[in-house]
Structure 1
Amino acid sequence: DYCRVHDITIQAWSPIAGGQLFSPADDAPDNVKETARLIAELAEKHATTPEAIGFAWLLRHPAGIQPIIGTLRPERIVASCQADNITLSRQDWYNLFIAARGARMP
Structure 2
Amino acid sequence: MIAAWSDSDYSSSDEESDGEVANIAFMAVENEEEDEVQFSFDELQIAYEKLFYEFESVSLNNRTLKNNVISLSKEIETLKNENSNYKNEIEILNVSLKLSMILRKKIKILN
Same fold at TM > 0.5: no
Structure with higher Rg: it is: 2
- Shorter-chain TM-score: what band? under 0.3
More relative contact order, 1 or 2 (CA 8 Å, 6+ apart): 1
Question: Which protein has the bigger strand share?
Answer: 1
